[in-house]
Structure 1
Amino acid sequence: MNYGALLPEIIMMGGAIVALLGGSFLPRRRQALVTWFAIAVACGSAATAAVSTRPPTVFSDSYALDNATTTIRILVPLATAVVMLIGRQEFRGSARESETASLLLLAALGTVVLAGANDLLIVATGFLLATVPLYALIGLSRSPAAAEATIKTYLLGAIFGVVMVFGITVLVGVAGGSTYPELQQALPHVPAAAIALGFIGVLAGLLFKAGAVPGHFWVPDAAEGAGIGIAAFITTVPKLGALIALARVVDVIPGTVNAPLLVGVLAAASMILGTLAAFWQRSAPRLLGWSTVGQVGFLLMPVAVIGAEPSARAALLMYLVFYAVTNLALFAAIAALPGRTTIPSWRGAAREHPVITSVVLVGLLSLVGTPPTAVFVGKLAVFTATWQGGMPWLVVIAAAVSVASLFYALRWVSVAFQAPTEPRPHPAAVQLQAVTAVTLGALVIVAVASSPPLLQL
């Protein structure tokens, strides 16, 4: 057993345990040490993943260490570290600061495991590890909205989790094995109805994790009810592992079942519903929650053609990286101006906080797919891969939805550039979050230069 190949995961698991135990013995005034320790652990895990040499698979082909897993091993811990910086203001002094850091590391670990899973049983394990901490994280703010979001997330997670386990049971039962090489060998000789039943079950669970239709209902409520830092996490990190896991599953389903068409239809439904629902939202986190539902629709496009187009995997990874940077930049901007959590409250922000408003402008234009922003490059790669993969109809729908999404982006930005109707005091910008927002906003533009290497993955 090559346990050394799992060093990045081991670092995160050990860090989560140490953070939980260490926080139990530290006084509240020193709980910040746990958060900074967790940030160091996340960065250390990402650095280890970046420099480690690895075999293609470990543990009897049950865990893949390919380019997709490596990308997620680097991206997820770094995104988690950024989330801790974004939420630093609300975490500081909390009675549950150490628990928050530990839960974030555990949820990040589950996301990485989900992405690397090359075995349906590992998919179930990663799903649980990535999902259960979210229930506690969403409810940490102890508000009525957070309580409602926690209950909704828990109930949906339980239902979709059971459906996923049922689907895994069916596929493993008819194939006589759970690893993907075993499935690829056995499933072509299995009745198509059994494969379809099992695949739909697994698909349902992973779509819940990604926040796509029909498992999307929890995302906007959780984004609005949780704190800004936690909202940034749940709208960014979970989908990073879930979409890679889904791409691996779709790739092993034989042609006797039209899995690409089903994924393509759900992609169209997600992008249309998420974009239209974001139009008239007043809460900025809730707007971004609906936006992330729409973005998952775009991310499902390369998943739908993963078996037909060689460039689809690289396009998916590129879009995941660029979307993560963009979404975190927007939440960092909201966290930097704590008095402006609703769209109307951003009136006059361009005059009072021009730099932070610029980050919001760049971030929203990136989500829409406006050149020369990062997500534009990701969308271009995704559209190309989907068209070449034989789904031009999905590209046409995605292009129309991208144009329509300009509405909610310009609605937010236009409010920020309007003069305030009456003087209203707003707190000064929080420096740590402001620096984080500006840094990420710059990366939304600079990250375009990293697109050629990503296309080689």
Structure 2
Amino acid sequence: MPVGDLLPELILLVGAVIIVLFAAFSSHDRQAWAAGLALVALALATGFSVMQWSRAPMLSFSGVWALDGPAIAAKWLMLFSGAVTVSLSPQWMRSDRRHGEYYALILFALLGMIMMASANDSMQLVVGVLLSSTASYPLVAYHRGWAPALEAGMKYFLIGALTNALLVIGVVVLFGLVGDTDYARTAEALVDADPFALTIATACIVLGLSFKLAAFPAHAWMPDVAQGAPAPVVALLSVAPKIGAAVALARFVLLLPVDQAWPAIVALIAAVTMTLGNLAALRQSDVRRLLGWSSVSQSGYALMAVVVIGAHPQALRALLAFLAAYALANLAAFAVITHLRGRTALDDYRGLARAQPIVTAVLIVALLSLVGIPPLVGFFGKFLLFEVTIAAGYGWLAVVAAINTLVSLFYYLRVIAVTMFKAPEGEVHVLGIWSWLAMLASVVVLLVASLGVEWGLGLMASLRFAL
């Protein structure tokens, strides 16, 4: 059980502790320095996780920690999401007198999300979900003097408390069935498990993870958080928990007997999630809420790959490709919103193309990738989802997803039309150089991923879970 297997995670933990101590003894004008410490921790964690890529897939720490391609790829995406979030934050938070610990909370949240993706034990999954949730609650309500932030924080907390309790109940029932929390031994024992109790356990665990995915029925927090939380926090919480939960759910459902009804149930959740998210987004006049509902719908697409994870050999590749495409596009979109000082009403974007042409270009690229327009990487992510879903016999789900994609095109183009064809109203204020650089970095990575999609898909083709 070498400690080196956990070096990236230990770096995040130590970095968060150092930031808490630094923030406690630093004056107001030095609080932003904590952002530099967080970026150093994220860079070191990324470097050590890159070194883990060449190793053969394995289970570490008595089989509870997975060091395999999917976990490492998810880790890279989450660390990049954290780096963009931290880079967007200093100028956004500069009016907050004591915001140094904000960066520690980001690192703690990321650590929990990474634990979710790497969990090969149901109790470790619970710890990861709880750590991620506990650190995320105060991040959402960080602007505690603003009513929408408090409302978003309360809704996020209450839904999280309920779904986390369901997750724990599911894990307890599962432990009662098999007498173990290790995934390998659980898979062996579930063959002869009581079907009713197994259904209860599976339903509770799926509902628990649906909270982190922002999927139906635990989705209601996402639009409120998108509107009320600090914009950099939304960039993180709309991306990183979704990645960790999707990989964790895909790893978990592979344990279940093939004759169970879970694929049909998850397929139904996927269809309802994408439809509900897109229909709700149609009527939004607030760009941040619109992107919040868009995030809900994108969870439905991700669940398509989870449905067929055991029925098609390329389902895992499709899931990771889609998550990467979604993460890069959504980060770029919220980087634009943050750079524009959180402009939220659709009318605030009138004529943006004339006032801020580069910012508008970044926003358009991000939105077109979210809808899946070629040659952007979002198209290839969705194409792979459709391919594996149809090949595995879920053609009806692919049809539902195709219709939802057409629906989503309307509200994404509505935002683009306002920026391009409406007359500008007043001066456009922006945050500053750091948010500008973070925005450019996010769109550059998005474009590079679009140009190198063939290489990236080839890299993902051989990824497998360590069993």
Q: What is the TM-score of this pair, normalised by structure 2?
A: 0.95
What is the distance in 1 between the residues matched to 2:462 and 2:359?
34
Give the structure 2 partner of residue 452 of structure 1. Answer: 458
Give the counterpart letter for 2:92 in structure 1: E
- SS of match in other structure, 2:421: coil
1:414-433 to structure 2, matched below 5 A, reads 414-420=417-423, 423-428=425-430, 430-433=432-435
Give the counterpart letter for 1:28 in structure 2: H
Point out the more displaced range, 95-104 or 6-15.
95-104
Give the counterpart letter for 2:195 in structure 1: A
1:13 matched to 2:19? The reply is no
1:379 matched to 2:382? The reply is yes
Give the structure 1 partner of residue 26 of structure 2. Answer: 26
Give the structure 1 partner of residue 210 of structure 2. Answer: 207
What is the distance in 1 between the residues matched to 2:171 and 2:136?
23
Cα displacement string for residues 296-353 of structure 1 (whole angstroms, at most 9, x for unaligned residues): 0000111011111110111111111111111000011111222632211100101111
Give the structure 1 partner of residue 444 of structure 2. Answer: 442
Give the counterpart letter for 1:453 in structure 2: L
Give the structure 1 partner of residue 239 of structure 2. Answer: 236
Give the counterpart letter for 1:81 in structure 2: A
Structure possessing the higher relative contact order (Cα contacts under 8 Å, 6 or more residues apart):
2
- SS of match in other structure, 2:35: helix
Give the structure 2 partner of residue 189 of structure 1. Answer: 192
Give the counterpart letter for 2:256 in structure 1: I
Shift of residue 55 of structure 1? Answer: 5.7
Give the counterpart letter for 2:13 in structure 1: M
Shift of residue 256 of structure 1? Answer: 3.3
Shift of residue 456 of structure 1? Answer: 3.5
Cα displacement string for residues 165-216 of structure 1 (whole angstroms, at most 9, x for unaligned residues): 1111111111121111111100010121111000000011100111000010
1:270-419 to structure 2, matched below 5 A, reads 270-338=273-341, 340-419=343-422
Given that 1:263 and 1:304 are in contact with CA atoms closer than 8 Å, whether structure 2 keeps it comes out as yes
Q: How many corresponding residue pairs?
A: 456
Give the counterpart letter for 1:231 in structure 2: V
What is the distance in 1 between the residues matched to 2:343 and 2:154?
27
Give the structure 1 partner of residue 49 of structure 2. Answer: 49
- SS of match in other structure, 1:140: coil
Point out the more displaced range, 333-342 or 303-312.
333-342
What is the distance in 2 between the residues matched to 1:323 and 1:454?
16
What is the distance in 2 between the residues matched to 1:339 and 1:70?
32
Q: What is the TM-score of this pair, normalised by structure 1?
A: 0.97
Give the structure 2 partner of residue 38 of structure 1. Answer: 38
Given that 1:46 and 1:75 are in contact with CA atoms closer than 8 Å, whether structure 2 keeps it comes out as no
Give the structure 1 partner of residue 248 of structure 2. Answer: 245
1:134 matched to 2:129? The reply is no
Give the counterpart letter for 1:33 in structure 2: W
Point out the more displaced range, 302-311 or 81-90.
81-90
Given that 2:92 and 2:341 are in contact with CA atoms closer than 8 Å, whether structure 1 keeps it comes out as no
What is the distance in 2 between the residues matched to 1:24 and 1:381?
48
Give the counterpart letter for 1:451 in structure 2: L
What is the distance in 1 between the residues matched to 2:223 and 2:293?
6
Given that 2:187 and 2:255 are in contact with CA atoms closer than 8 Å, whether structure 1 keeps it comes out as yes
What is the distance in 1 between the residues matched to 2:232 and 2:42?
16
What is the distance in 1 between the residues matched to 2:339 and 2:152?
24
What is the distance in 2 between the residues matched to 1:199 and 1:149?
29
Give the structure 1 partner of residue 263 of structure 2. Answer: 260
What is the distance in 2 between the residues matched to 1:303 and 1:135?
27
- SS of match in other structure, 2:313: coil
Give the counterpart letter for 1:403 in structure 2: L
Give the structure 2 partner of residue 73 of structure 1. Answer: 75
Which residue of the other structure, out of 39, 59, 62, is the alignment partner of 1:60?
A: 62
Given that 2:214 and 2:296 are in contact with CA atoms closer than 8 Å, whether structure 1 keeps it comes out as yes
Shift in CA distance, 55/371, structure 1 to aligned 2, threshold 3 Å:
closer
What is the distance in 2 between the residues matched to 1:108 and 1:54?
24
Shift in CA distance, 304/38, structure 1 to aligned 2, threshold 3 Å:
same
What residue ranges of structure 2 are gaps of 5+ in the alignment? none
Cα displacement string for residues 387-407 of structure 1 (whole angstroms, at most 9, x for unaligned residues): 122211111111111111011
Shift of residue 428 of structure 1? Answer: 4.3
Given that 2:84 and 2:442 are in contact with CA atoms closer than 8 Å, whether structure 1 keeps it comes out as no
- SS of match in other structure, 1:57: strand
Given that 1:195 and 1:257 are in contact with CA atoms closer than 8 Å, whether structure 2 keeps it comes out as no
Given that 2:108 and 2:132 are in contact with CA atoms closer than 8 Å, whether structure 1 keeps it comes out as yes
Given that 1:372 and 1:445 are in contact with CA atoms closer than 8 Å, whether structure 2 keeps it comes out as no
What is the distance in 1 between the residues matched to 2:437 and 2:80?
16
Shift of residue 4 of structure 1? Answer: 1.4
Shift of residue 384 of structure 1? Answer: 1.0
Runs of 4+ in structure 1 off by over 4 angstroms are none
1:176 matched to 2:179? The reply is yes
RMSD over aligned CA atoms reads 1.4
What is the distance in 1 between the residues matched to 2:225 and 2:243?
18
Shift of residue 95 of structure 1? Answer: 2.5
Given that 1:171 and 1:198 are in contact with CA atoms closer than 8 Å, whether structure 2 keeps it comes out as yes
Point out the more displaced range, 45-54 or 355-364.
45-54
Give the counterpart letter for 1:452 in structure 2: G
Point out the more displaced range, 233-242 or 94-103.
94-103
Aligned sequence identity (%): 36
Shift of residue 414 of structure 1? Answer: 0.4
What is the distance in 2 between the residues matched to 1:231 and 1:87?
11
Give the counterpart letter for 2:458 in structure 1: P
What is the distance in 2 between the residues matched to 1:417 and 1:393?
36
